[in-house]
Amino acid sequence: MKNSIHIIRFILIIRYVKHHPYCKLKEIIEYLDFQFSERGFDQKLGLSERNIRRDFDEIRNTFGVSIDYNHRMEKGYYIPKNEVADSTVEDLLACVDILQIGLDTGLPEYIIPEKRRSRGTEHLMPIKKAITDSQIISFSYHKFYPDTIETKTVRPYLLKESRGRWYLLGLDEQLKPKSYGLDRIVQLDRTDRKFQRDGEIDWAEMYQNSFAMFTDAPVEEVVLSYDERDGNYIEAMPIHASQSITRQDDRVIVRLSIRITLDFIMELMSRSWSLKVIAPLHLKQRMQEIYKEAMERNG
């Protein structure tokens, strides 16, 4: 397995080629030298063009990202468009950037970390190991509604982060897909029982049209309107991958293809002061009911 320096180098290469299509090997080497210097690594890279080409093969094997050479007019290296859309590499590099600050300086005076953190991260590595080994796990699970603690036996498939919390995705004892918040797991045990993974389950597709974790609603076309201020924030940090934005007079029109779940409604409420629901009608009526009940409670 490659060490952390190699992984950082691979991610940096992907970032550079992604944002500088048809670049040359020399340019990639210069970028890596600069980035490693900025990050405070003492060791000299001393990379050659042969090293970079070898890295391309490792990147394909490690991340599933191809870096190809265009032999036509552009004559440079690029990542095919169907592979550029995946934000996983950028998310990984963002984590590396943040971690590097901490490694360099501890907790410097110019950083104020978030105090509110999700619990349950101590389960990440044991669950990751169980996923890798196709090993059935059991744990006590604290349900919030109703307030009970239940014993779960799960075939673990994936770890998923959503809105600052980590979740386990897997099959329950009835082999139905379920999600479990790591912050509600206690007494986790890895059993000695193995399971055969079901390769036909498309977990990514299951959550593709959802906001956060709920999937218990059909996919619908949603049209929203916000004032210019809120619209700019939503454009900078999209609500969902399906989001498209247009402007009409002094309003920002947001269109989504999404499941209207409780998580999504809570997200809409976070910018209630300028929100106007255009479609569908039942979502507008649901928001009206929520506002009416809130006024009655706070009247």
Contact between residue 258 and residue 242 where contact means Cβ atoms under 8 Å apart: yes
Topology of domain 121-199, per CATH? SH3 type barrels. (2.30.30)
Beta bridge partners, 257, equal 221
pLDDT in tens, 89-124: 666 666 666 655 555 545 556 666 677 767 888 898
Percent of the chain with pLDDT over 70: 85
What is the DSSP-derived secondary structure letter of residue 106?
S
Beta bridge partners, 76, equal 70
pLDDT in tens, 117-171: 678 888 988 999 999 999 999 999 998 888 899 999 999 999 998 888 899 999 9
pLDDT value at position 96? 63
pLDDT in tens, 6-31: 888 888 898 899 889 999 999 999 99
Contact between residue 111 and residue 157 where contact means Cβ atoms under 8 Å apart: no
Domain range summary for the chain, segments of one domain joined by + = 4-105, 121-199, 219-297
**Stretch 81-88: mean pLDDT, rounded?**
59
Instruction: Identify the CATH class of 219-297.
Output: alpha beta
pTM attached to this predicted model: 0.70
Q: Compute the CA torsion angle 230, 233, 260, 274 (nearest 10 deg).
A: -10
- Range list of β-strands (E), the chain: 68-70, 76-78, 135-143, 148-162, 165-171, 177-181, 185-194, 219-227, 244-248, 251-259, 276-279
Topology of domain 4-105, per CATH? Arc Repressor Mutant, subunit A (1.10.10)
Write the single-letter amino acid at 86: D
Q: Report the Cα–Cα distance between both ends of the chain, in Å, rounded.
A: 61
Q: Compute the CA torsion angle 43, 49, 54, 60 (nearest 10 deg).
A: 100
